[in-house]
């Protein structure tokens, strides 16, 4: 079993912090999946079907702010 890191964009600061345990919901587009940290705290980019996330729970490993916004990295065991 490996660990998969995934980045999510958070719309405003303070919604999540390092160490938080989170659950994600999977969304489906015509050729991609995307993931939302419940309850709508942050959203991932789009992932092709072959890169589907199997886990639905993970732990926040970092929260960073850069010129593009706030980004949360979550570690999933799958």
- b/e map 44-71, b = 16+ CB within 10 Å: beebeeeeebebeebebeebeeeeeebe
Mean pLDDT of 15-19: 98
Mean pLDDT of 33-49: 97
Q: Encode pLDDT of 50-68 as tens digits.
A: 999 999 999 999 999 999 9
Domain count, the chain: 1
Output the pLDDT for position 71. 98
Range of the domain at 58: 3-77
Indicate the pTM of the whole model. 0.94
Output the pLDDT for position 23. 98
pLDDT band at 4 (very low <50, low <70, confident <90, very high): very high
């Amino acid at each position: 079993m490996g660990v998969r890191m995934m980045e999510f964009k958070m719309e405003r600061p303070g919604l999540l912090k390092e160490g938080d345990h989170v659950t994600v919901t999977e969304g489906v587009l015509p050729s991609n999946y995307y993931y939302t940290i419940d309850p709508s705290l942050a959203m991932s980019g789009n992932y092709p079907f072959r890169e589907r996330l199997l886990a639905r729970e993970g732990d926040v490993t970092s929260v960073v702010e850069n010129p593009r916004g706030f980004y949360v990295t979550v570690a999933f065991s799958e």
